[in-house]
């Protein structure tokens, strides 16, 4: 069985995916700023490396590898190279998406190079997964759901097949200047991406509702706000706090279209702060003062589950129906989204 390696970088990181989390015997490497994420999870990496331009300090660590900032490779690439020397054959690269666009592109190139070496590597962040396939195939089970896109990583890719998806390809040719494989969908069938000659970048994002807004309710002065703000301080890079009683002007953001993209844009402009999946906790406090905000939680769950949203209110939601309609009740403890104090 191939040895697995988990590299955590300084880009977007919203926790380990259940199917791609480190276990006993796996090599865990923090690449520079990724060390902060692991510390928030209470986990020490096996190896800490980088030039530490993101952390700004060099932490003490039993296995520290410091590189000069004047170098040819990114910290993520250096971590992957180290893991290859340690005999790893499967790589899960977290914190390599988002943030600086040039680093994201560099990490996509890293995937391509690893695929050409016959290595299995996945770039994970913001609810999305990417991998590269060189002269080979990639299979998805019937349980797969969401969107999938395929891109040519080179001048051309020959003999491309996409089967078991909403849109199929048969012995097609993909080129670097036309996105023929973008925006496909899983349809509940076993699906296969295959290329006879060339390299493909495959990107997919599960659209299932794998994260719902945290709902915290109880009487006044029992510590709801304290609990959420300290949770944000301890486990997120930044917190955006909205109190609908003290900030009535923000209710106007919810007077029109309730799309999360629109609401997040207004909130970022108002607070002059970025709201980043996996890095920002968005708190809606005293939400009972703005019914439209309560309704908006439905759309955060359906359209933007990658964002971490929490709400606090002094009244409990109705048992028979909540902001999410009949599809699921807000107070359903089985989903892990409701907490009563």
Structural contact between residues 49 and 79, judged by C-beta atoms closer than 8 angstroms = yes
pLDDT of residue 83: 95
* CATH number of the domain that residue 6 is part of: 3.40.50.10240
Q: Are residues 140 and 155 in the same domain?
A: yes
pLDDT of residue 323: 29
Q: Are residues 123 and 204 in the same domain?
A: no
Q: What is the pLDDT of residues 59-113, one digit of tens each?
A: 888 899 999 888 889 999 999 999 999 999 999 999 988 778 898 999 999 999 9
Structural contact between residues 7 and 80, judged by C-beta atoms closer than 8 angstroms = yes
Q: Are residues 142 and 195 in the same domain?
A: yes
**How far is the C-alpha of 107 from the C-alpha of 54, rounded, in Å?**
17
> Considering the entire predicted model, what is its pTM?
0.63
pLDDT of residue 56: 85
* Residue numbers in the chain where pLDDT is lower than 70: 18-19, 206-211, 217-218, 222, 314-341
**How far is the C-alpha of 243 from the C-alpha of 153, rounded, in Å?**
47
pLDDT of residue 314: 67
Residue with tokens 């080129």, as numbered in its chain: 175
pLDDT of residue 39: 86
* CATH number of the domain that residue 183 is part of: 2.60.120.320
Q: Are residues 187 and 270 in the same domain?
A: no
- The 3-state DSSP class for residue 168 equals coil
Residue with tokens 């002269």, as numbered in its chain: 135
* CATH number of the domain that residue 315 is part of: 3.40.50
Q: Are residues 1 and 126 in the same domain?
A: yes
- For residue 200, what are the domain limits? 135-208
Query: Which DSSP string corresponds to 178-226?
Result: --TEEEEEB-SS-EEEEEEESEEEEEEE--S-----EEEE-STTSSHHH
Count structural domains, the chain: 3
pLDDT of residue 201: 96
pLDDT of residue 326: 32
Q: What is the pLDDT of residues 265-299, one digit of tens each?
A: 999 999 999 998 878 999 999 888 898 998 999 88
**How far is the C-alpha of 320 from the C-alpha of 330, rounded, in Å?**
9
pLDDT of residue 139: 93
């Amino acid at each position: 069985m191939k040895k697995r390696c988990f590299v955590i970088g300084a880009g977007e990181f919203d926790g380990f995916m259940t199917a791609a989390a480190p276990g006993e015997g796996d090599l865990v490497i923090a690449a520079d700023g990724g060390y902060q994420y692991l510390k928030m999870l209470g986990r020490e990496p096996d190896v800490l490396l980088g030039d530490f331009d993101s952390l700004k300090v060099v932490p003490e660590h039993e296995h520290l590898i410091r590189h000069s900032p004047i170098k040819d490779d990114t910290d993520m690439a250096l971590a992957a190279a180290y893991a290859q020397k340690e005999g790893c054959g499967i790589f899960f690269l977290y914190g390599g998406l988002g943030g600086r666009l040039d680093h994201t592109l560099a990490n996509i190139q890293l995937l391509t190079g690893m695929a050409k070496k016959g290595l299995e590597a996945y770039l994970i962040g913001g609810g999305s997964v990417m991998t590269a396939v060189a002269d080979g195939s990639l299979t998805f089970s019937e349980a797969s759901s969401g969107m999938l896109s395929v891109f040519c990583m080179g001048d051309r890719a020959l003999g491309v097949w996409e089967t078991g998806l909403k849109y199929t390809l048969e012995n097609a040719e993909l080129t670097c200047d036309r996105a023929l494989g973008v925006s496909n969908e899983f349809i509940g069938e076993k699906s296969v991406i295959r290329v006879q000659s060339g390299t493909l970048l495959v990107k997919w994002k599960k659209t299932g509702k794998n994260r719902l807004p945290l709902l915290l309710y109880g009487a006044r002065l029992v510590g709801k706000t304290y609990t959420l703000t300290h949770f944000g301080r301890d486990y997120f890079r930044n917190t955006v706090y909205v109190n609908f009683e003290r900030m009535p002007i923000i209710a106007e953001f919810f007077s029109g279209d309730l799309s999360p993209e629109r609401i997040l844009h207004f909130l970022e402009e108002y607070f002059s702060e970025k709201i980043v999946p996996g890095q920002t906790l968005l708190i809606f406090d005293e939400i009972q003062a703005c019914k439209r905000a309560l309704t908006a939680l439905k759309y955060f769950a359906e359209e933007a589950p990658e964002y971490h949203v929490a709400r606090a209110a002094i009244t409990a939601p109705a048992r028979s129906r909540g902001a999410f309609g009949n599809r699921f009740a807000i107070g359903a403890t089985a989903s892990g989204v409701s907490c009563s104090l």
